[in-house]
Amino acid sequence: MVERIVPDTMKAFYNDFHFAPAVIDGNQVRCSGVIGVEADGKCSDDPTTQFTTAFESLSQVLSAAGVSFADVTEMTTFHVGLQKHLATFMAVKDKYVKEPYPAWTAIGITELAFPGGIVEVRVTARKG
């Protein structure tokens, strides 16, 4: 049985864009990609703020699924301007993702679903 995880703060995404922020399938928590979108629906022009917002949103999803960043086994990140922002992204990521580190793939892309978005973070975590 697959369980859909939709934190209260993300119900609009579920209703408007028709996707679950995460699903639990057995002991795997698979999270959809999270972009650093503020409450007003916009992305900050400041990369540090945008990256922090993305990780805070992802933290809410993980918590609602009963896991944390310590349970993350794999992370894929999609970056507009990968080389330009990688050091800043890593500094923010390291505040949330600690040793032992998960597998991580960073991919450079041309755009994201939200205008001004420069990163999308998707993770898989192990429950239990």
Is 1 a residue whose pLDDT tops 90? no
Least Cα distance to 121 among 57, 66, 73 occurs for: 57
Domain count, the chain: 1
Give this prediction's pTM.
0.95
Q: What are phi and psi of 13, to 5 degrees?
A: -65, -45
- CATH code at 92? 3.30.1330.40
Least Cα distance to 74 among 104, 32, 97 occurs for: 104
DSSP letter for 102, please: P
Q: What is the torsional sign of CA 3, 5, 55, 46?
A: positive
Lowest mean pLDDT across 12-21, 24-33, 46-55: 12-21
Domain that holds residue 108: 2-126
Mean pLDDT of 8-23: 93
Is 41 a residue whose pLDDT tops 90? no
Residues 61-80: tens digit of each pLDDT: 999 999 999 999 999 999 99
